[in-house]
Structure 1
């Protein structure tokens, strides 16, 4: 984002105009500071330095109101350009003061620069929200604040070096003029914006305009409190910067170089803190950083006071000697920590004030803030000057600043407690769960009637949504849950409405709330999932959206179900203390309910429509932009609980780890004689081996062409010809038991035949080690839209026709099936449908593999007596089949064989009534 902003005309010219202007201010100001400290004849140089700061700041107090009115009434870019043009004449006046070595002239020039800066401040900060999005505002402010303090750094170095000798006065005089011209040049390139309030009358009386602005600001307590918080930072910053030269000279005994070093360290700390705050403020300013910044400032201030108390003054200590001493290094660390905390403190605070201000009066709100900040700085600077004149030790002043910073923590928490808790939650979720939010652009504009409908997978769902949603939404909470001890802390800091499901009329208040334009979050499932997938969707949620004429914004929470705060157990999913969590906001949907429906029929229709919306959200959010082998690796990462995932009638049992290892080892052997993208024939029955072969081909970018061994030689050869199959993978044992010698003879005449027994015999220890080291990374990367498998029709209506399915096709089909089928890792799928059939491949093998559901692969659906017995022996809970096969099993089975079955999924042909009755 930083690179994008710095190369954009909507930000870059303003950035450079204010940077060169701030640099010019600091070259002039710091050159004058060095003159006062090391060249003034009077013995009150440190007090004069503080007065110089007040001279520069005082115009903010009386002219900010006028600047805000001008910025709101006229085109801001024009106002900025004219102010920067006027600044060139002030720079010429300052140059005369340096040439004449006149301190009074330089004080007058400093006042002129202060006047122009007071008028320019509301313009530049009001332009930022006009040019930037809310999500860019914190970064824009951080760049401006960081540049301001880098200008302090460069101005400090340049100002100090320019006046090191009287012969160098010409350099500083030239510098202030050149910098003023550069600022004017960049200001001329700022894009024009529409005036916010063109009919606004301008009050020329500074007192009247200032009082009026402060009254306007005070009327909005949130903006007033935010401005006070920002003003505290500028008060502290002004005091610290004014004290640094005297601290170095009177306490440390350092030279001008030490002053420059300390100011440089402070400026760098501010810049780093500002950019760090921006990096943690994405969709909105992160107010959780404000009290954290104040705490850091407090501890740094106290330690700096302690360091000052134990420091012995030296004589003309150089910067290198100071930085390499223990006392000097300690002070520098305190300075940078204090400044870093200041950056965390001010960037989100000021960005929040900008964002909360109405566009029509934003410049005046910022101007009022400048008045308040000027008042804080002027009063604070003069107060410190009086304390210094009275002989109070600088260490006590820093001690007071440290204690006052802890007081600022209390003030921030009192005023922004709820906002801070939300942002702290976002910070915590991002740190612990690496939370990612997608689809924020899908949220409707403020004021839209909307019902936010997330899936419910864990106890952290409510706090998570409260933290990451960029809108202030209310939560509908079941009365039983609201009484739970674990829910009460969350409910104290969020807007919520309790709902009693036994009292239907209780929904009326929520309907009115949604109809009034207040966004409301309701979990349509009404409870946390215990299956890992979508559960029952209550009609009441749909009726609220329907009666309020609101859109439904589906939200998918993924990853939280793997945490220890979900209701899934370790046999259902791979648990993790801090899994990666993704929140996806999908486009809003209006429930399609027939206007003619009334009463219960309408309620049922709305509920069904919402169910479809939630299922569609699940499918749209599924990980479809991967290859099948990558998807298998994701299933291993997220769903591998160590249990057997594939087994067959031969007694082969494979976990995810063994399946992936087998695919990695076998794939290296199958590379020879085939090329990437080539269709490779697979002539194998349902077994663990066919799963390994299928995934091995996916691993090396070959496309399995699933041959129907029951179709006869003519149809198999026709299918091979259609798919241009040159290599066929099969098994000697399968050929022998299936009595497929004639078929294999026909295939051998047309293609190369590779038997898995021969491949297995060539695998050594080195191959297994290579496969183990490969992990889950595919050997050949494939895109989601690349071909993944070729399936064929049976040939009953002529020559078999091939159908190419992509990786995305299969993943989408599996996701759609899982969205409709209540299946989880506690189930076991008994798959008798051959994998050369789309139903057997997608539903019987790929869907369970990707969902962490164990599969029992059986080679023939025609074994009507054996299949029911194996279902009983394996404890299978889900059976895939056709009407013909299911009828045959029912006739041959014992009444107890199907006791564990809870789902029977039929396809390929219509299910007859007699089969349903079974």
Structure 2
């Protein structure tokens, strides 16, 4: 474990913002979105006080206030506005569906949801709003801003000049945000991250990868997801870099020219999205990037090659994290980028590997450190702390002598076929090697003869098992890892974060098996 000065993280999020403004200059442009109205540190702090004062009139200190907004200047201002007055942002995943959203609000005890008319209209989210209004008070920020008067502006100006005197003081160990896990494999869980968890993760990343304050970060990932919130918004702002927010990663044709126009140096993406941007982009639209950071899913070799061939030597830095870790646990660096790994462990994180029967060469990863969550939300609004501070990632990994991590698979992503443990991730990699331009996912079903059997779901229309078997034989992979049944679909279901939606995938497979029976 590399040394990390945890004292650097002993700050509230708003105080970290104030400290960044002092260090990097109050007049430095720090935040922008597609409206192209850049905000300086002073602008951001004043806007947070003006909006926060209004929100404080109908909420109370310590209240969990839900935020349902896209990645935008408005979304970031709202996040800091809640912190200026000691409220706890509770970030709602508007792509999770009505049932999950209502469950999230009930679990967190949310009484107020902040959103915007424009966002609801553009996203066609009226059904979500109708459902949330049965549980909560939905407040539109356009309506709130209309009520900002002269006294509010005078207050914001004074608070902007002396922010430490006007902000509500909180402890670094207090809840800084409530997020919900992606739900890739089941129902989302409520994760409570403290102020110091989030600040620590920003400091850990900055110690691991030297950041240039002149850089521009381009973030199209949602701020309801920890990768988008911490990496795409908090990290640049707290470390003195300009954060450009874009409302949706799905705008494949619009994003590459905007990356060029904003003179972005760092782009945040998942493998799915960066692959699509690279195919859509003109050669000069991404070539100005210093590097790309990829998380949430495995980066395919084909994506690495595509970027290199089309845009030159732009490092595609694969990282690894979990919502429970604020989220970054490890990431490759521009000067040490090892394909096939998820990078080096961040400073200050302890690891423990637990043996998993039947899986040689690695173990289940547990992590502990200043960025690891306070705990999970419990029914009734409490917080269940982690035993001894250790978070069980559920991932089976190998660790090099210098703490570089290679993911072997998730514990729940292994199947027992003919008495042998088989990685479903490795089975997906087989399909990706044979058909690199397509998307693939593998699930396991019970089998009376072999224990379990593997099912490949793919958008490759002419996929067949013979090609998979031939490739497995060529590379010496065990034939048990070759799926013997293939289900072809128009597209692989994904979550709003770009991860494969294995819950939806299982439903597709179950329906197909019933239909074929």
1: CA distance, partners of 2:279 / 2:61: 47
Q: In structure 2, do the counterparts of structure 1 residues 903 and 641 end up closer, same or farther at CA, with 3 Å as the change threshold?
A: farther
Query: What residue is the counterpart of 1:827 in the other structure?
Result: 215
User: Do the aligned residues in 1 keep the contact of 2:82 with 2:89 (CA within 8 Å)?
Assistant: yes
2: CA distance, partners of 1:764 / 1:825: 35
User: Do the aligned residues in 1 keep the contact of 2:47 with 2:77 (CA within 8 Å)?
Assistant: yes
2: CA distance, partners of 1:908 / 1:657: 33
1: CA distance, partners of 2:7 / 2:83: 20
1:283-305 residue CA offsets vs partner (Å, 9 max, x unmatched): xxxxxxxxxxxxxxxxxxxxxxx
Query: What residue is the counterpart of 1:591 in the other structure?
Result: none
Question: Within 5 A, what are the aligned runs for 1:269-348?
Answer: none
**3-state DSSP class of the match of 1:808?**
helix
**3-state DSSP class of the match of 1:684?**
coil
Cα distance, 1:799 vs structure 2:
2.6
Report the aligned-residue RMSD: 1.3
Does residue 776 in structure 1 map to residue 167 in structure 2? Answer: no
**3-state DSSP class of the match of 1:725?**
coil
User: Do the aligned residues in 2 keep the contact of 1:878 with 1:903 (CA within 8 Å)?
Assistant: yes
Question: Which residue of 51, 55, 60 maps to 1:675?
Answer: 60
Query: What residue is the counterpart of 1:200 in the other structure?
Result: none
2: CA distance, partners of 1:753 / 1:885: 32
Cα distance, 1:626 vs structure 2:
1.3
**3-state DSSP class of the match of 1:879?**
strand
2: CA distance, partners of 1:628 / 1:767: 23
2: CA distance, partners of 1:788 / 1:642: 26
Cα distance, 1:743 vs structure 2:
0.5
2: CA distance, partners of 1:624 / 1:856: 24
Query: What residue is the counterpart of 2:194 in the other structure?
Result: 806
Question: Within 5 A, what are the aligned runs for 1:226-245?
Answer: none
2: CA distance, partners of 1:718 / 1:641: 41
Query: What residue is the counterpart of 1:655 in the other structure?
Result: 40
Query: What residue is the counterpart of 1:860 in the other structure?
Result: 248
User: Do the aligned residues in 2 keep the contact of 1:718 with 1:799 (CA within 8 Å)?
Assistant: no
**3-state DSSP class of the match of 1:657?**
helix
**3-state DSSP class of the match of 2:8?**
coil
Does residue 631 in structure 1 map to residue 19 in structure 2? Answer: no
Does residue 757 in structure 1 map to residue 142 in structure 2? Answer: yes
Question: Which residue of 101, 115, 122 maps to 1:737?
Answer: 122
Question: Which residue of 98, 113, 116 maps to 1:728?
Answer: 113
TM-score by length of 2: 0.57
**3-state DSSP class of the match of 1:871?**
helix
Q: In structure 2, do the counterparts of structure 1 residues 830 and 735 end up closer, same or farther at CA, with 3 Å as the change threshold?
A: same
Query: What residue is the counterpart of 2:430 in the other structure?
Result: none
Q: In structure 2, do the counterparts of structure 1 residues 667 and 764 end up closer, same or farther at CA, with 3 Å as the change threshold?
A: same
Question: Which residue of 293, 301, 314 maps to 1:913?
Answer: 301
Query: What residue is the counterpart of 2:238 in the other structure?
Result: 850
Does residue 894 in structure 1 map to residue 279 in structure 2? Answer: no
1:844-898 residue CA offsets vs partner (Å, 9 max, x unmatched): 1100010110011000001111110100111100011111111111110111101
Query: What residue is the counterpart of 1:699 in the other structure?
Result: 84
Cα distance, 1:658 vs structure 2:
0.4
1:813-854 residue CA offsets vs partner (Å, 9 max, x unmatched): 001111122322110000011111111111111000101100
**3-state DSSP class of the match of 2:198?**
helix
Q: In structure 2, do the counterparts of structure 1 residues 704 and 686 end up closer, same or farther at CA, with 3 Å as the change threshold?
A: same
**3-state DSSP class of the match of 2:29?**
coil
2: CA distance, partners of 1:653 / 1:622: 32
Query: What residue is the counterpart of 2:452 in the other structure?
Result: none
Question: Within 5 A, what are the aligned runs for 1:408-807?
Answer: 613=2, 616=3, 619-620=4-5, 623-640=8-25, 642-774=27-159, 775-777=162-164, 778-807=166-195
2: CA distance, partners of 1:876 / 1:819: 21
User: Do the aligned residues in 1 keep the contact of 2:26 with 2:42 (CA within 8 Å)?
Assistant: no
1:456-505 residue CA offsets vs partner (Å, 9 max, x unmatched): xxxxxxxxxxxxxxxxxxxxxxxxxxxxxxxxxxxxxxxxxxxxxxxxxx
1: CA distance, partners of 2:261 / 2:77: 24
2: CA distance, partners of 1:686 / 1:650: 12
User: Do the aligned residues in 2 keep the contact of 1:624 with 1:812 (CA within 8 Å)?
Assistant: yes
Cα distance, 1:641 vs structure 2:
6.1
**3-state DSSP class of the match of 2:168?**
coil
Does residue 885 in structure 1 map to residue 273 in structure 2? Answer: yes
2: CA distance, partners of 1:641 / 1:826: 15
1: CA distance, partners of 2:80 / 2:111: 19
User: Do the aligned residues in 2 keep the contact of 1:827 with 1:877 (CA within 8 Å)?
Assistant: yes
User: Do the aligned residues in 2 keep the contact of 1:700 with 1:780 (CA within 8 Å)?
Assistant: yes
Cα distance, 1:796 vs structure 2:
4.0
User: Do the aligned residues in 1 keep the contact of 2:111 with 2:137 (CA within 8 Å)?
Assistant: yes
User: Do the aligned residues in 1 keep the contact of 2:30 with 2:39 (CA within 8 Å)?
Assistant: yes
Structure with greater proportional strand content: 2
User: Do the aligned residues in 2 keep the contact of 1:864 with 1:889 (CA within 8 Å)?
Assistant: yes
Aligned residues: 303
Query: What residue is the counterpart of 2:226 in the other structure?
Result: 838
Q: In structure 2, do the counterparts of structure 1 residues 869 and 622 end up closer, same or farther at CA, with 3 Å as the change threshold?
A: farther
2: CA distance, partners of 1:799 / 1:652: 38
1:587-612 residue CA offsets vs partner (Å, 9 max, x unmatched): xxxxxxxxxxxxxxxxxxxxxxxxx7
1:674-701 residue CA offsets vs partner (Å, 9 max, x unmatched): 1211111000001000111000101111
Cα distance, 1:621 vs structure 2:
5.7
**3-state DSSP class of the match of 1:859?**
coil
User: Do the aligned residues in 1 keep the contact of 2:177 with 2:194 (CA within 8 Å)?
Assistant: yes
**3-state DSSP class of the match of 2:9?**
coil
1: CA distance, partners of 2:253 / 2:246: 13
2: CA distance, partners of 1:676 / 1:726: 13
User: Do the aligned residues in 2 keep the contact of 1:667 with 1:700 (CA within 8 Å)?
Assistant: yes
2: CA distance, partners of 1:747 / 1:715: 11
**3-state DSSP class of the match of 1:789?**
strand
Query: What residue is the counterpart of 1:520 in the other structure?
Result: none
Q: In structure 2, do the counterparts of structure 1 residues 724 and 761 end up closer, same or farther at CA, with 3 Å as the change threshold?
A: same
TM-score by length of 1: 0.33
**3-state DSSP class of the match of 2:71?**
coil
Cα distance, 1:625 vs structure 2:
1.6
Structure with greater proportional helix content: 1
**3-state DSSP class of the match of 1:645?**
strand
Query: What residue is the counterpart of 2:204 in the other structure?
Result: 816
**3-state DSSP class of the match of 2:163?**
coil
2: CA distance, partners of 1:866 / 1:665: 32
Gaps in structure 1 of 5+ consecutive residues: 1-611
1:16-73 residue CA offsets vs partner (Å, 9 max, x unmatched): xxxxxxxxxxxxxxxxxxxxxxxxxxxxxxxxxxxxxxxxxxxxxxxxxxxxxxxxxx
1:429-481 residue CA offsets vs partner (Å, 9 max, x unmatched): xxxxxxxxxxxxxxxxxxxxxxxxxxxxxxxxxxxxxxxxxxxxxxxxxxxxx
User: Do the aligned residues in 2 keep the contact of 1:722 with 1:801 (CA within 8 Å)?
Assistant: no
2: CA distance, partners of 1:772 / 1:763: 13
Higher relative contact order, structure no. (Cα contacts within 8 Å, ≥ 6 residues apart): 2
User: Do the aligned residues in 2 keep the contact of 1:718 with 1:800 (CA within 8 Å)?
Assistant: no
Question: Within 5 A, what are the aligned runs for 1:100-119?
Answer: none
